[in-house]
A = this chain, B = another copy of it.
């Protein structure tokens, strides 16, 4: 363990895609925990697409990270010191600790984790915010009915992989969209999707639609949307009457590019027409609004993990200093499953 605290701050607001020089590694003394506070050694740091939004100065659902501030992240760690009776030294906790090796936070902002239930890293993955996003989006906003067809973008990612597996549990036909043959094979063979289309093999949105249409002979009832761009363009006209589109992200547009086709000039009017004619329900949602659903989610999904009905995969980047490159890779789809940074040793894990 380092004797100092390392942290990664936002050095500059990215123009389009972030680059390594938009981040800066700093070293400081390890801060002391004040009254009611806890000092945590960060073990697992989560990387999630929403972080790109925090790097921009504009209005979003949360305040931006200021230049020179530590980048935000959900993390799992071990308690080194506690000045609050609710948490003890040696406890494992999850909370918003940031891109850093050590964090001091109020005890009430942390949740304790029981390592006996599942590996502690899952508290920022399948049993954490991404899993809850999948659960709320599919159940509450997607309102699935047995026999319907679900299309999931970013199918092997932290959210998409849970959406698809929940879809199979609920009796849906599940068709994924993912980048590359290997991910598609994983979605079908390991996650149990009925089909998965490699968007990289499609020349444009129309070509992607042709491939998807073969996999969705009865159209699409639910499109779980977290990418935007070419995939959205492909799927929207395939929606069935009374279809639902939970929208929790648009990774292909986060850096401002029009990933996929050059947008048609009348794309917006066409989309609006589809929403009207097919009486679609679109619902943008941010998981921070839905933490009241956490207990139901945790109970149901931890059961599926225990019973082997939901599996998950992690992409692990080693060391805090690797976080910027790993994040840039995440935005480009280089991760395969939940993207984590191993900031320090996990004593509960052998490998």
Query: Could you tell me which A residues sit within 8 Å of B by CB distance?
Result: 53, 59-61, 228-229, 232, 241-242, 247-250, 253, 258, 262-263, 265-269, 271-273, 275-286, 289
Asked if B248 and A276 make an inter-chain contact with CB atoms under 8 angstroms apart, the answer reads yes
Q: Given A268-B267, A271-B268, A281-B281, verify A249-B276 contact (CB < 8 Å).
A: yes
Q: Give Cα distance in the complex from A280 to B281, angstroms.
A: 10
- State whether A273 touches B289 (Cβ < 8 A): no
Contact of A286 among B53, B59, B247, B279 (CB under 8 A): B279
B263 touches A247 (CB 8 A): no
When chains A and B are docked, how far (Å) is the Cα of A249 from the Cα of B279? 11
Do A250 and B263 contact each other (CB < 8 Å), given the known contacts A275-B282, A275-B284? no
Q: Which residues of B contact A59 (CB under 8 A)?
A: 277
Given contacts A284-B278, A286-B279, contact A228 B269 (CB under 8 A): yes
With A61-B277, A248-B276, A283-B281 in contact, is A258–B269 under 8 Å at CB?
Answer: yes
Report the minimal beta-carbon distance from A255 to chain B, rounded to whole angstroms. 11
Some 13 contacts from A to B, beta carbons below 8 A apart, are A61-B241, A229-B269, A249-B276, A250-B276, A253-B269, A263-B265, A267-B268, A276-B284, A276-B286, A277-B284, A279-B283, A281-B282, A282-B283
- Closest beta carbon of chain B to A287's beta carbon, Å: 10
- Per CB-CB distance, the 4 closest pairs between chain A and chain B, nearest first, are A282-B282, A275-B284, A276-B284, A268-B268
| Distance in angstroms between the alpha carbons of A289 and B281 in the assembled complex | 14
Q: Shortest Cβ distance from A309 into chain B, in angstroms? A: 30
The complex places the Cα of A248 from the Cα of B273 at a distance, in Å, of 10
**A207 and B155 alpha carbons, distance in the complex (Å):** 41
| Chain B residues, Cβ within 8 Å of A278 | 61, 284
Partner of A280, one of B250, B276, B284: B284
CB neighbours (8 Å) of A269 from chain B are: 228-229, 250, 253, 258, 263
Contact B284 A289, beta carbon cutoff 8 Å? no
Residues of chain B with a CB closer than 8 A to A228's CB: 269, 272
Chain B residues closer than 8 Å to A60, beta-carbon distance: 277
Report the minimal beta-carbon distance from A15 to chain B, rounded to whole angstroms.
Answer: 16
Q: Which of A229, A241, A268 has the most CB of B within 10 A?
A: A268
Q: Which of A59, A249, A271, A282 has the most chain B CB atoms closer than 10 A to its own CB?
A: A282
What separation, in Å, do the CA atoms of A283 and B279 have in the docked complex? 7
Min CB–CB distance A267 → chain B (angstroms): 5
**Contacts A59-B277, A61-B279, A249-B276 known; 20 new A-B pairs at CB < 8 A:** A61-B278, A228-B272, A247-B272, A247-B276, A250-B273, A253-B272, A258-B269, A263-B265, A263-B266, A265-B265, A267-B267, A268-B268, A268-B271, A271-B271, A276-B284, A276-B286, A278-B284, A281-B283, A281-B284, A282-B283
In the complex formed, the residue of B with least CB distance to A280 is: B284
Complex interface: chain B residues within 8 A of A248 (CB)? 276
Q: With the chains together, A273 CA to B283 CA distance in Å?
A: 12
Contact assessment for A272 and B250 in the assembled complex, using a CB-CB cutoff below 8 Å: yes
A264, B7: Cα distance in complex, Å: 40
Q: A313 to nearest B CB, angstroms?
A: 26
A282 and B268 CA atoms in complex are apart in Å by: 14
Q: In the assembly, what is the distance between CA of A284 and CA of B278, in Å?
A: 7
Please, which residue of chain B has its CB at the minimum distance from the CB of A274?
B284
